[in-house]
Amino acid sequence: MNKNTEKELIKNNILGKELFSSEDIRKRVSDLGRDITADYKNKDLLLISVLRGGVIFLSDLIKQIDLPLSIDFISISKYGIDDTSTGVVRITKDLDESIEGKDVLIVEDIIDTGLTISYLLRNLRSRLPKSIELCTLLDRDIRRISDIHIRYIGFKIGEKYIVGYGLDYKQKFRNISSVYELKLDTVKKDVESLKSSSNV
């Protein structure tokens, strides 16, 4: 998405404050890549992206890691009343390769309550990796419920609803290059307006 489109979304009161610019993200991802390179030298590094939001972060991150590595993908569905629910979690797309004996780094776009990632950690640890760590672009630790350790963190984030750089609202806005606050009330009104028109 180009900057003119982003400006239009801001003008229409859909996007709010730019929280992390594309340049902020680029610099931080470069720093994370350098740290991971130093920590995983001479190791069998496998990065696992949690679909779908983590893909953009992963694609930029691996370019900054100066090591041989491999990647794989996993997808999880949550079932519950809201984001803090402990409802059923299930894997909808599993890994393609075995992780036994490998040094695994899970790459996420955002971690908040930690409930889903805790489930994923338990599942993957049962597959006997040599090591397993977490890397997230955004850490919303003010909502943390599960006791998890995140080794690599891009930025800390508050309660605001955010979109961009892989983060979505109903599968939209993932291709915005920066991370913005979303004017959720405006978006919801637009959605309701469309529903009303379709029912006329």
- Give the whole-angstrom CA distance, residue 132 versus residue 44: 12
Q: Are strands 15-20 and 179-182 parallel, antiparallel or unpaired?
A: antiparallel
Helices then strands, each counted (H, E), the chain: 5, 9
Burial of 154 (0-12, 13-18, 19+ CB in 10 A): buried
List the one residue out of 50, 13, 3 whose CA is nearest residue 176.
3
State the catalytic residue, choosing from 72, 112, 139, 147.
112
Q: Look up residue 70 and give its two tokens.
A: 């491999």
- Give the whole-angstrom CA distance, residue 96 versus residue 101: 15
Q: Largest Cα–Cα distance of the chain, in whole Å? A: 64
Output the CA–CA distances (angstroms, integers) from residue 145 to 11, 49, 83, 84, in the order listed: 37, 22, 11, 8
Catalytic annotation on 139?
A: no
- Give the whole-angstrom CA distance, residue 181 versus residue 151: 26
Q: Catalytic site residues? A: 112
